[in-house]
Amino acid sequence: MTKESLKNKRTIDDLSEDELKQFIDEYYNSDLSVQKVIEKYKLNILPSKIKSYLPEIKVDFLCPFCDIEMYEEAKSRTEYKDSQKYKNINYFRTNKNSIFCKECGHKDDKNEFNQFYCNCDNCIQHKKMSEELKIKKAKKYTNEIINSQKESSISIEEIKNNSIIEKTYLLTLLLYLYDDKKHIFKPISTLDGIKFSPSIELGFEMINNLLGYMIRFKDTPNIHNHVYLKEGNSSFSYEQYNCTYSLNLCEDMDINFTKLVTLCETNDYCEGIEDDALELWLKIAKEELKEYLFYLFEKYNFNKDYIGDAILEKLELILEDFSVSEGYSILYSSVSGSASYKQTGISHRQAINSINSYIANNIAKRKSGEWKTKGYGRNYDLPQTAISMVFFNNILKIGESGFTLIPKLENIPKFYNNNVVNKGIDSFEIEDVEINSMLYENLYKVLDRIITNDILPPALNDEAKILFSSNIIMEDYEYSIKANELLKFISKLKGFDIR
């Protein structure tokens, strides 16, 4: 089409209402080419520009702010034909054409992630109000959680009765994260110079164990950014390493840091205390072995995602007969052996699967004595963590032996006070003791422990066994008589360490 011929032609504005309707119908629906349709109506329009001259289309969609019908930009012929193919879906909500309000300018567009976006004044204001409401709701919910946690607050003295595991967890927070001026525990993520625990899973467990009982969320300006209400129920999730915490003590309690530390470090004997100590030792030991395993995987370019339950279960098997130090040796031999095996041309997955067999073989060879087991020192890149330092130095008081000894009951020292006998056995006076059922039960437990450990001279041990066998069944009225017998026997133990 020449420039001269274009001068003699019309624009769309020159068409009558009926002509415009016919033109639009033929543009979209006729078999004529776009150029032929333009020529038929003698229009001065380039085919590529025709879409921009067509009027907007009113759609059955109301503006959320003005409550009036919105409009859609005209489609090209190709877009129109596509919309007819997919007319069973709301095409105008998924194509590239904008849906807009002529009154306020609101656009109902979608971005490349199929998310609606609009920068009209109404949307900006609505988004701002929504964010403010969201924050207000989050703060309200977080405050409700904190108030609920306060209802379970404890006294400082109650810390004394906590398990050794809970005391170790709390002591770790006290020694490494406590701000004694603000009386808060700083976020674990701010800890510098030492890792909190060998694995993030153990770190999470420590906080989950204490939260709502011994510690609570601190009402900081941004705490609501780290606590999330789960949809559909009243439970919540939270970012354990990013929250600030405070001691969950009664409001009128004076916080004495030194006393808190002493209470956590001091343990009186109670049934199961050594089992709890062994449980925590094994837990820390397993996580230290897992930490070293992950380190070796990275060193030998193995994919850590392939570490399955079979390999992790072998870590527990190692700790039945070996220390963490010796476990390092077993893991290094196994993973490096697998890396060498990989050089023979086997697949990456096959090489990793062979680690399980290498570990099992290593354990068997060392247990049989065929291979000598020499422990490794701590890896320079994996220094001792806070929880490990506290447990082995402050609680068990065995230091590096926690790394070099096998986690077994016989390797756990008497780190506790024997509050039944040893508290005053050498100054024990029968006449100063009130006879009651609780005293009898405690004395009976001591008697059982004496016999089990076989720590007295034969004559005294035989006497203890006779007393034990005669006191298995006890009626209330007999407490006074039998307890006196036990007290007389206990008085003979002055000078003996019966822990």
List the domain boundaries for the chain: 3-106, 126-265, 273-410, 425-491
Is the per-residue pLDDT at 323 higher than 50? Answer: yes
Please report which confidence band the pLDDT of residue 420 belongs to, taking 50, 70 and 90 as the band edges: very low
Residue 494, pLDDT above cutoff 70:
no
Round to whole Å and give the CA distance between 8 and 44.
8
Q: Map residue 147 onto helix, strand or coil.
A: helix
Q: List, for residues 139-172, the tens digit of each pLDDT value.
A: 888 888 999 898 888 888 888 889 999 999 999 9
Strand, coil or helix: 417: strand
**pLDDT averaged over every residue in the chain:** 82
If one compares 28 and 197, the residue with the highest pLDDT of the two is 197
How far apart are the C-alpha atoms of 465 and 257, rounded to whole Å? 45
The region, left, alpha or beta by phi > 0 then psi within -120 to 50, assigned to residue 208 is alpha
Cα-Cα-Cα-Cα torsion 324, 330, 321, 392, nearest 10 degrees, comes to 0
Q: Round to whole Å and give the CA distance between 287 and 312.
A: 10
How many of the other CB atoms lie within 10 Å of CB of 385?
Answer: 23
pTM above the 0.85 mark?
Answer: no
Question: How far, in Å, CA of 231 to CA of 251, rounded?
Answer: 32
The percent of residues in the chain predicted with pLDDT above 90, rounded, is 36
CA–CA separation, 18 and 290 (whole Å): 80
* Biggest CA pair distance of the chain: 132
H helix intervals, 412-478: 437-453, 458-470
